[in-house]
Chain A
Amino acid sequence: MNRYVILLLALSLLVLSIPISIQAKEPSKEVTITGTVTDHTGETLPGVVVKIKNLPYGTITDADGFYLLRGKFAKGAKIVFSCVGMKTVEFDYFGQDQQDAAMQENVEMLGELVVKAESNINNIDIRARSGVVETVDMKRLNEKPMANIGLALQGAVPGLIVTNAGDLGSKPKIRIRGNQSLRGGDAANEPLYVLDGKVISAEAFMTLAPQDIREIKILKDAAACALYGIKAANGVIEISSKRGTKSGGVDITYSMNMGATFKGRRGVSVMNSSEKLEFERLMGNPSAPGYRYSEDYYRRYEKNNPNLNALIAAGAQKLDSLRGINTDWFDELMRMAFYQNHNLSMRGGNERTSYFLSGNISTQGGQIKGNSTLRANLRLGIDQQIGNIGYFSFNMDGGYTDTKSPNGSEFSPASLIYNLNPYESKSNNKLWSYPNRRFSDLMEQYQSNSNDKRGGASGSINLRPFEGFEISGVAGLDYMISESQQFTPASSYSEQQSGFPAAELGKLAKAKNTVLNYTHNIRALYNRIFDERHNLTFSVNHDYYLTNTDNIGFTGYGVGDHPSAALINQSITGSRRPSVSSLKEKVIQLGVGAVAGYTFDNTYDLFATYKLDGSSILPSEKRWNSAWATGLGWTPTSYAFLKNNGVLSRLNIKGSYGKTASLAGVSAAQTIATFSYLENAYDVMRMLQLLALYNTDLKPEHTTSIDAGVQIGLFKHFNVDLQWYRHQTADALLDVPVAASNGFGMMKRNIGVLRNEGIELSGSYSLMGEEIPDFRLRVGASVAYNRNKVVDLYYADKIYTSDNALIPDFQVGKAYDMLYGLRWGGINAVTGLPVFIGKDNREIEPGKTKLTRDDFIEIGHMTPPYTGTVNLSIGYKEFELDADFYWVAGGYRQYSYQYVRDRDNVNKNAIAGLVTDMWLQVGDTGKKYASPFYSSAAIETLNYANTHNTGKSDYLRMSMLSLRYRFPERILAKTHNKIKYASVAIQASNLFTITPYNESDPETGQMGAAIQPVVTLNLSVTF
């Protein structure tokens, strides 16, 4: 393990184990107590009156159920929580700084039995007793000013790995406990998203606003996920929306963030004009001015010119003037932009009906001009009691996101930062770096816009016709329209060079894709407690998921410089003729399952579940697959002799075992001959195509999961949670290359067995009790480790997934994300080419020595195996400081080296220091970069990763910082209680990233696409 990892681990452990134990003090006069008030289901309760009995100190909980109470009182005073429809709760003040309260509904007052509805009917208690269900801290999530909810989840829960994928608006990679499949990509590894009981797409999840979410649960193991069946093979992210309150009043909350986004990390530093011109002179390539205007050039090519001296003088003058220009293209092209977020919500209700209404909008500008996102949401949630036997909930929501980007597949303005020369400027009519182009030919070459419009509704009903029996159902629709437009204007360089007549220039592609998700779920649950010790639950469920996709798109040419479909030249024939595409498909998944659970004396938990799922995608004989799981839990602290002991406040041990069959990402075309029409035509005939080389022997992947965990609570305030898991997937599916004479390059096959395992450790410490007056501290940290390995391959001991891979992608006994490479041995002083050290320390000379597999060594994991967080909360009087850090370690990444220029490419800018660090002539020793006088593509050896051109992709990021001031009751009182609650805050996300990776962004691997720092001012008021 490297030093960096050790450092980070040590830091985390240090935080985990802060043994702060400050001696008790005398009762103080001025006291501050904070806490969160919830109802018995864990839902936060706003508008709860918190008072000190018989003293004039009191406050009201805010929209998140949080309160802060200040006053002068001594130990023994009573803290009273009261709320309409709830039983009043009292606590003794014994010097504590924090007092949370869970309030029970006042059944006596209502005079009836009350059933509390859960909008997600799968959220049953028994599941969490033996499965691994973790909850995202929504307060912290809301403190991060980020438009993308997916990215904001980075570091929220150990084992939930979120990786930024590129410029603003792109969908991040989200994984729970790593990849379960050899197949990379979202289709086979993405978790299942469930909003209020209905399945939504990952894209729909990205349109959600954190402010509207009450709770996000991450379901990690087989026992927790089994209710969802095989769809949940990669874990589940369950989202529950905010609900109304029963306070009898109305809370209106407005909060806003306004601020700026910053340029972020710079990456490599490039040459200034003097160094660049000198470097060009040394390269001797006349396509760059440093040589073209140098004395060397004139003496060589114009030696017989009678005006030689005049030419040299003019050249020197030209170079001097170029030296005078020093454009910092990072500064020029990257920009600061605005971030804003506004949220208005209304929450209220009475004992029978409650509601939540919210609207919000946020915008964020990207680093590059033309890159921005906007997100807007509306949400309504209503809960209505039905007589005395049940509850009905209704949700409606709509969302809109819009993303603009100037970065296309062929050309990205971000790359200009490293390509344009410092002696060039925006006003140049002739660029050396891009011959025949002006600066304006590089910008506004391409524009892509995309937006998602989403609307959904769901209703759930919970009925308890008699004691112990509950029947519930949820049905929901989610409809999303995604529109995208890509436009390449006729004036763009690529169009001008295309060779097509003027009437055919300008490309416009537009697509409208619609996805309708329909879910319904029905569950019957019977729960009975015998002898007050035996708690038995039995449940059956049925679910139905329908996804209807209907896409339509067109591409047309001849629009000129106007992105309008009306301008498409319909008279074009041949390859630029207008074309239309469409896709319509319906996928149905159907499942039935049963769950049984038993708890003895709150000490032992037993859990078993079985689910059978069928999918319309597959041919009928492969359609039905099952998932089952069992779990065990043990809570020794429930024993009488351990109850209320001062040391061990909680001990819970649990484990689960489960099996899932998965055909995620597999379609009929892979198992049976399937044909589809192409958009193209041959002569007058439409074209029908065989989609894939089908494999009639294809089987589902079978994953066996073993999970174990222990939760320890010490001294009431020190909590440690340790989880271990091992997921083994047999019959792992992979698109493997087949001999080209089969007419297809790839075929999906069951190729082997892989294992994915890891450990997650998290802990927290809260400084509470009678320690320092007005001072609150909570620190938390987590470390997650994930590793994977190919256990067996059925057909060979190694698999190459592409024909030009000399190094196998998968090999028995090796991790499936291993970066292999050569050992660097320096640069040959004579040839200027790198020398590598192979097997048995033999020297490998590029182009001369033939490589063997044994010459390659494991450089490291491409996916960092270690991730972790450090969370810190400090409170003093009305001030609150929250900070989150996120780190990853143990990963390696190959540098792109695109800025290390050889002679042929010297007309583009280069990394600073090449003049001294590059091998330039025979005899140069100790250089970092190889000779520029050959084309690296010609020598295969140089294209591999090696120990010199790779770097650790570890990083430490300050992902969130929030400093909040809550206006105290005495100030709010001056508004005659018009304002119930108010606070201001400075909030920032991703303020800095520290990394030893000294090239591009360690996370995305892209130049100029690092995550943006955002700094905002937040204001939140509740009326």
Chain B
Amino acid sequence: MPIRYITILAAASILASACSLDVDYENQFSDPDAISTPTAARELLATAYSGIPNLEYDLSVFSDDFTPTYWANTNPTAGNAYRWQPQSIQDVSLTAWPQYYTVIVGANAVLERLPGIATDTDEDRALIKEIEAEAKTLKAYCYFQLLRLYGPDYNDNPDADAIVIKDKVEMQTLPRSSVRESINEIRRLLEDAMSVGNRSMTSTHWLSVNAARYLAAEAELYCGNYDEAAKHAGDIINAIGMDALSSDEYADLWSDSDCAERIFTYGDINIAEGFYISIVYDKDAGDFFSVNPTLAKSYEDGDCRKEWSVYPVTTSTLGYQPYMGKYNAMRKKQKTISMISKQRLAGAVFIQAQAYALANKDTDAIAIVNEYLDLRGASGIDTNLRGTPLLQAILTEKQKEFVGEGERFFDLKHYRRSALSNWTVSQAPDRRIDADDYRWNWPIPREEYLYNENMTQNEGWPKNSFDE
């Protein structure tokens, strides 16, 4: 009788299809088993690294590294940014803030999952330790960048609202911590990181012990602990050796060859797509900006920094232009940009030199700077310099080293009331930014304050042009 047959068939079919709804995805891994090996954790950390914003160009535009060409004067985007038009700062601020927090939360995602990874071998345990140290260094790196962009300078008011300290991957509406608290958090993170000595990732794309020391040195210099700063910087110099500052090594910085001087480089393989392209107005017509002519002229012949800092071009429309070199020159020479230098030995030298100068160890400061200058092929600074003029000379050499890399902006902000209070003299009248100008502290972007009732806005910037 067919009924029985049909019934059996129907029942079998229901059973067959009522199989499990637990379907694995090819490329989606959910907790709790998603991150189960040190490799997976490092792959997650890699994504956090790749999110680091590259503000080298934007910060250089806001500093005195550049001078606008004819094209910047005709182009509202470039010209407005150069003149610190609030909208231009808001535009950069709008992307930088979420980008840094994406990195921080990415690092948090790693840190939250590390305890859940089963570790059977010492090797695995060591790898976990190492990843934890890197994740913390990465957070410290982002906090320090955010602090210098969004918080008032430590010297202005260490108890003013600065940045959000974020430790969890979950939706929170956190208030800002003060500058002092932020520095303390950075110090805590870096102390943990510096305690993990052995690192298996040898490439400079990963934050090493030296990278953590570098950050610690920068942070201590920033908050006035000059001895600590000099000590951390000295540890780096000892670990790498001053020989790495030679002319040969310097040229390798602007290539994809190995270079002993590097400490930390950004290594996402997609960087070349847009990096530093904004400086170009037109491939044939020229750039929006050239190197500040005073600076461009100050390089001596034989100074290895000259060749890669200035890219001179003479065109019929604009005449001689000392265009920006480095990544811009690499692009013009059609050389592949495979990494972006974030920390290098020269930076450690300058941290130490500043720390010595500020701690009134003038001779030590001059000694280290002149050793560096000698290796670069430049004449040393006047050994008779003392006090502020010495600091100014160090900062000038620092600018010559780091032109176009955004470092100068942080120096201007930090020393704008002291050593660099004269920086505006050489500027066009519409660009003499007062030391008390509100724009030194970037605006908290709307993306944050609109959805976080505990957020405060920096003075001078609109909280919300809509709700009063």
Across the interface, name the chain B residue whose C-beta is closest to A681.
Answer: B269
Cβ–Cβ < 8 Å partners of B267 in chain A: 682-683
Q: Is the CB of A740 within 8 A of B101?
A: yes
Contacting residues of chain B (255-302) with chain A, CB-CB under 8 angstroms: 267-273, 277, 280, 282-283
Select which of A588, A590, A686 is within 8 A of B43 by beta carbon: A686
Q: Is the CB of A520 within 8 A of B102?
A: no
Bound CA–CA A283/B283 (angstroms): 29
Cβ–Cβ < 8 Å partners of B50 in chain A: 680, 682, 687
Bound CA–CA A938/B97 (angstroms): 23
Stretch from B151-159, B332-340, B406-414 forming part of the interface with A: B332-340
Q: Is the CB of A683 within 8 A of B271?
A: no
Bound CA–CA A850/B463 (angstroms): 13
Q: Tell me if B465 counts as interface (CB < 8 A to partner A).
A: yes
Q: Is the CB of B447 within 8 A of A674?
A: no
Select which of A465, A574, A619 is within 8 A of B3 by beta carbon: A465
Q: Is the CB of B21 within 8 A of A853?
A: no
Cβ–Cβ < 8 Å partners of A463 in chain B: 2, 6
Q: Is the CB of B336 within 8 A of A742?
A: no
Q: Is the CB of A743 within 8 A of B106?
A: yes
Bound CA–CA A688/B50 (angstroms): 11
Q: Is the CB of A690 within 8 A of B171?
A: no
Q: Is the CB of B277 within 8 A of A690?
A: no
Q: Tell me if A409 counts as interface (CB < 8 A to partner B).
A: no
Q: A675 and B35 in contact (CB under 8 A), knowing A681-B269, A740-B98?
A: yes
Q: Tell me if A427 counts as interface (CB < 8 A to partner B).
A: no
Bound CA–CA A668/B49 (angstroms): 25
Bound CA–CA A936/B26 (angstroms): 48
Bound CA–CA A497/B282 (angstroms): 8
Q: Is the CB of A737 within 8 A of B49?
A: no
Q: Is the CB of A743 within 8 A of B336?
A: no
Q: A680 and B446 in contact (CB under 8 A), knowing A497-B283, A674-B31, A745-B98?
A: no
Q: A743 and B268 in contact (CB under 8 A), knowing A542-B17, A668-B30?
A: no
Q: Tell me if B425 counts as interface (CB < 8 A to partner A).
A: no
Q: Is the CB of A738 within 8 A of B171?
A: yes
Q: Tell me if A803 counts as interface (CB < 8 A to partner B).
A: yes
**Interface CB pairs A-B, < 8 A, 27:** A436-B282, A576-B272, A582-B26, A582-B27, A588-B21, A590-B17, A614-B21, A673-B109, A674-B30, A675-B28, A676-B29, A682-B50, A687-B46, A689-B47, A690-B44, A690-B106, A739-B447, A739-B451, A740-B101, A740-B451, A741-B172, A743-B105, A743-B166, A800-B451, A803-B446, A803-B447, A851-B466
Q: Tell me if A583 counts as interface (CB < 8 A to partner B).
A: yes
Bound CA–CA A152/B401 (angstroms): 67
Q: Is the CB of A680 within 8 A of B331?
A: no
Cβ–Cβ < 8 Å partners of A669 in chain B: 28, 30
Question: When each residue 572-606 of chain A gets 1 if its CB lies under 8 Å from chain B and 0 otherwise, what string results?
Answer: 01111100001111111010000000000000000
Bound CA–CA A689/B45 (angstroms): 9
Q: Tell me if B460 counts as interface (CB < 8 A to partner A).
A: no
Bound CA–CA A495/B455 (angstroms): 44
Band of interface residues on B = 35 or more
Across the interface, name the chain B residue whose C-beta is closest to A389.
Answer: B2
Bound CA–CA A465/B7 (angstroms): 11
Q: Tell me if A672 counts as interface (CB < 8 A to partner B).
A: yes
Q: Is the CB of A520 within 8 A of B17?
A: yes
Q: A740 and B17 in contact (CB under 8 A), knowing A582-B27, A676-B28, A680-B50?
A: no
Across the interface, name the chain B residue whose C-beta is closest to A695.
Answer: B171
Cβ–Cβ < 8 Å partners of B452 in chain A: 739, 741
Bound CA–CA A740/B105 (angstroms): 10
Q: Is the CB of B76 within 8 A of A742?
A: no
Cβ–Cβ < 8 Å partners of B268 in chain A: 680-682
Q: Is the CB of B205 within 8 A of A682?
A: yes
Cβ–Cβ < 8 Å partners of A585 in chain B: 23, 25-26, 28
Q: A574 and B27 in contact (CB under 8 A), knowing A520-B17, A744-B102?
A: no
Q: Is the CB of A683 within 8 A of B21?
A: no
Q: Tell me if B185 counts as interface (CB < 8 A to partner A).
A: no
Bound CA–CA A955/B57 (angstroms): 50
Q: A741 and B448 in contact (CB under 8 A), knowing A520-B17, A682-B267, A683-B205?
A: yes
Select which of B18, B97, B169, B468 is within 8 A of A740 by beta carbon: B97
Q: Tell me if B367 counts as interface (CB < 8 A to partner A).
A: no
Q: Tell me if B10 counts as interface (CB < 8 A to partner A).
A: yes
Q: Is the CB of B27 within 8 A of A584?
A: yes
Q: How far is the CB of B172 from chain A (nearest CB, A)?
A: 6
Q: A499 and B331 in contact (CB under 8 A), knowing A804-B446, A935-B76?
A: yes
Q: Is the CB of B29 within 8 A of A737?
A: no
Q: A499 and B283 in contact (CB under 8 A), knowing A524-B10, A574-B269, A682-B205?
A: yes
Tell me which of A672, A675, A680, A938 has the highest count of chain B C-beta atoms within 10 A of its own C-beta. A675
Bound CA–CA A499/B26 (angstroms): 37
Q: Tell me if A467 counts as interface (CB < 8 A to partner B).
A: no
Q: How far is the CB of A557 from chain B (nearest CB, A)?
A: 11
- B interface residues with partner A (beta carbon < 8 Å): 2-3, 6, 10, 13-14, 17-18, 21-23, 25-31, 34-35, 40, 42-44, 46-47, 49-50, 76, 87, 94, 97-98, 101-102, 104-106, 108-109, 164, 166, 169-174, 203, 205-206, 267-273, 277, 280, 282-283, 331, 334, 336-338, 445-452, 455, 464-468
Cβ–Cβ < 8 Å partners of B277 in chain A: 499
Q: Is the CB of B101 within 8 A of A743?
A: yes
Q: Is the CB of A573 within 8 A of B445?
A: no
Cβ–Cβ < 8 Å partners of A685 in chain B: 42-43, 46
Select which of A542, A583, A738, A852 is within 8 A of B27 by beta carbon: A583
Question: When each residue 678-714 of chain A gets 1 if its CB lies under 8 Å from chain B and 0 otherwise, what string results?
Answer: 1011111111111101010000000000000000000
Q: How far is the CB of A679 from chain B (nearest CB, A)?
A: 10
Q: Is the CB of B47 within 8 A of A682?
A: yes
Q: Is the CB of A693 within 8 A of B87?
A: no
Known contacts A465-B3, A683-B46, A688-B44; can you find 7 more A-B pairs with CB under 8 A?
Answer: A436-B282, A522-B13, A668-B28, A676-B29, A685-B46, A739-B455, A745-B98
Question: When each residue 457-491 of chain A gets 1 if its CB lies under 8 Å from chain B and 0 otherwise, what string results?
Answer: 00000010110000101000000000000000000
Across the interface, name the chain A residue whose C-beta is closest to B337.
Answer: A574
Q: Is the CB of B106 within 8 A of A674?
A: no
Cβ–Cβ < 8 Å partners of B98 in chain A: 740, 743, 745
Q: Is the CB of B22 within 8 A of A741?
A: no
Q: Is the CB of B166 within 8 A of A742?
A: yes
Q: Tell me if A91 counts as interface (CB < 8 A to partner B).
A: no
Q: Tell me if A501 counts as interface (CB < 8 A to partner B).
A: yes
Across the interface, name the chain A residue whose C-beta is closest to B94.
Answer: A803
Q: Is the CB of B23 within 8 A of A616?
A: yes
Q: Is the CB of A740 within 8 A of B27?
A: no
Q: A673 and B31 in contact (CB under 8 A), knowing A688-B43, A853-B466?
A: yes
Across the interface, name the chain A residue whose C-beta is closest to B1.
Answer: A465
Contacting residues of chain A (718-761) with chain B, CB-CB under 8 angstroms: 737-745, 747
Cβ–Cβ < 8 Å partners of A673 in chain B: 30-31, 34, 109, 169
Q: Tell me if A297 counts as interface (CB < 8 A to partner B).
A: no
Question: When each residue 514-554 of chain A gets 1 if its CB lies under 8 Å from chain B and 0 otherwise, what string results?
Answer: 00000010101000000000000000001010000000000
Q: Tell me if A615 counts as interface (CB < 8 A to partner B).
A: yes
Q: Is the CB of A742 within 8 A of B172?
A: yes
Q: Is the CB of A686 within 8 A of B46?
A: yes
Cβ–Cβ < 8 Å partners of A742 in chain B: 101, 105, 166, 170-172
Q: How far is the CB of B438 from chain A (nearest CB, A)?
A: 18
Q: Tell me if A623 counts as interface (CB < 8 A to partner B).
A: yes
Q: A853 and B467 in contact (CB under 8 A), knowing A740-B97, A740-B445, A744-B105?
A: yes
Cβ–Cβ < 8 Å partners of A621 in chain B: none
4 nearest A-B residue pairs (beta carbon):
A743-B105, A739-B452, A584-B26, A544-B17
Cβ–Cβ < 8 Å partners of A803 in chain B: 94, 445-447, 450
Cβ–Cβ < 8 Å partners of B455 in chain A: 739
Bound CA–CA A938/B164 (angstroms): 31
Q: How far is the CB of B136 from chain A (nearest CB, A)?
A: 16
Q: Is the CB of A741 within 8 A of B174?
A: yes
Q: How far is the CB of A291 from chain B (nearest CB, A)?
A: 16
Cβ–Cβ < 8 Å partners of B87 in chain A: 938
